[in-house]
Amino acid sequence: MGRISGRLTPFPVPRLLRGLAKLSQGIEAELSDDTANRIDKNNMSLDGKKVLITGAEGFIGSHLVESLVQEGARVVALCQYNSFNHWGWLEELPCISQIEVISGDIRDSHFCIGLMKGVEVVYHLAALIPIPYSYRAPESYFDTNVKGTLNLCQAAVRNGVQRFIHTSTSEVYGTAQYVPIDEHHPVVAQSPYSASKIAADAVALSFHYSFDLPVVIARPFNTYGPRQSARAIIPTIITQMAAKSSEIRLGDLEPTRDFTFVTDTSEALRALARMEGGLGEVFQIGSNREIRLCEVFEILAELMCSDAQPSRDPDRIRPARSEVRRLWCDNTKLKKATGFTPSTLLRDGLATTVDWFIRPENLMRYKPHVYNC
């Protein structure tokens, strides 16, 4: 596949946001493509280190908790404070007794300072992420994703952490202007969510250059697997098929995405903590393959022996200029830096995901006929 003909008209963003986007791109552009080749692979062990994970109760966070415990890290898991004292997916983990769980809110700077004491490595995954909801409540995305990142960066500088891994998203690129997308691709804020993540990335990088915070930006493309939230396309399809719906209500199935199984994403994140060097840089996590969403639907229908048909739901269609039409990750830089490449084939990962979702104890947690936009 070659370059996309024509260019996307950027979604209008405030002047401050454009400045932050340019800062993020400019900092990364200063670094040579050869930098990753000079990084010693797997130089730092996480065994025995005190590791903080924000957003630990979520989809990727809970898988990362499991893998870090297995590696011997002393895990501190931050969960969003709630009156039910519920710890999300952490409640289900066999290793729950081996981790320290803290409830709190990254939007509170005072809380973040105390949270960071004694921490050596930070994985910042906490974020407000559903794109449709960002159209309705954009301010909340900036409060959590930008202000929350600022608070954590300030606390990390004050407490002298050894490495701060900030999690970005492929949504910052908007529709691909060329493929595969590398780390130098322009960022285009096509939704309030992506705008908040562009700003958050820039905040993290600015703390590296201004205050020597040892930041690494991890930029996953589309992660999928067990425990994923219902907002995502794959759980949406699986849960409706499992409910024996004859029509599966979905949005646009023509866009392409680059999917990575969650255990591969978790391993990539751990590799970024282990490597020496790479500070102030962006590393993408993806499979280096794109697939149309309609093809994903067909694979899932075959795996679930379903003859259901997709039905276009107007409520699930993004505004025309906001839909990201194409994402395809160039994972060369991460491979050169750490030796990591994803090992799970898409069909195998989807089969594992289906097996998890259709278990009654898991399926009951989802509401297949409710669109939580």
160 within a domain of the structure (yes/no) = yes
Residue 7 lies in a domain: no
More confident of the two residues 276 and 305: 305
Domain carrying residue 176: 15-363
Res. 367: pLDDT tops 70:
yes
Domain count, the chain: 1
How far apart, in whole angstroms, are the C-alpha atoms of residue 26 and residue 31?
9
Bridge-based pairing state of the strands 309-312 and 247-250: parallel
pTM: 0.89
Residue 175 has pLDDT above 60, yes or no: yes
Q: What is the CATH number of the domain that holds 114?
A: 3.40.50.720
Please list, in sequence order, all residues whose beta carbon lies within 8 angstroms of the beta carbon of residue 18, skipping any fewer than 6 positions away.
none
pLDDT in tens, 205-253: 999 999 999 999 999 999 999 999 998 999 999 999 999 999 999 999 9
257, two tokens: 């995405």
Asked if the structure places residue 327 within a domain, the reply is yes
Residue with more model confidence, 93 or 44: 93
Does residue 181 sit within a domain?
yes
Block residue for tokens 């008209």: 9
Q: Under DSSP, is residue 326 helix (H, G, I), strand (E, B) or coil?
A: strand
CA gap 61, 180 in Å, rounded: 27
Candidates 150, 289, 124; CA nearest to 219 is 124
Tell me 160's DSSP state.
T
Can you give the pLDDT at residue 121? 98
Q: What is the pLDDT of residues 66-101, one digit of tens each?
A: 999 999 999 999 999 999 999 999 999 999 999 999
What is the per-residue pLDDT for 182? 98
Residue written as tokens 């963003």? 13
36, 184 in Cβ contact below 8 A?
no
Report how far residue 141's alpha carbon sits from residue 126's, in angstroms, rounded to the nearest whole number: 11
- Residue 10 within a domain: no
Please check whether residue 332 lies inside any domain of the structure.
Answer: yes
Spatial separation of the C-alpha atoms in residues 173 and 181, rounded to whole Å: 8
Cα(272)–Cα(112) distance, rounded to whole angstroms?
A: 23
In a domain, 131, yes or no: yes
Bridge partner list, 75: 51
Beta-bridged to residue 157, according to DSSP, are none
**What is the pLDDT, as a whole number, of residue 5?**
37
Quick one: CA dihedral 261, 265, 271, 277, positive or negative?
positive
Which pLDDT tens digit goes with each residue over 100-115?
A: 999 999 999 999 999 9
Q: pLDDT tens across 160-170, in order? A: 999 999 999 99
Question: How far apart, in Å, do the first and last CA atoms of the chain sit?
Answer: 33
Using alpha carbons, select from 205, 273, 293 the residue that is nearest to residue 25: 205
Q: Give Cα separations from 153 to 200, 202, 206 (angstroms).
A: 10, 11, 10
**Amino acid identity at 319:** P
Residue linked to tokens 């089969």: 351
- Residue 219's closest CA among 143, 279, 153, 167? 167
Q: What is the DSSP string of 216-268?
A: EEEEE-EEE-TT--TTSHHHHHHHHHHTT-SEEEES---SEE-EEEHHHHHHH
Read off the pLDDT of residues 182-203 as tens digits, 9 standing for 90 and up. 999 999 999 999 999 999 999 9
Is 248 part of any domain? yes
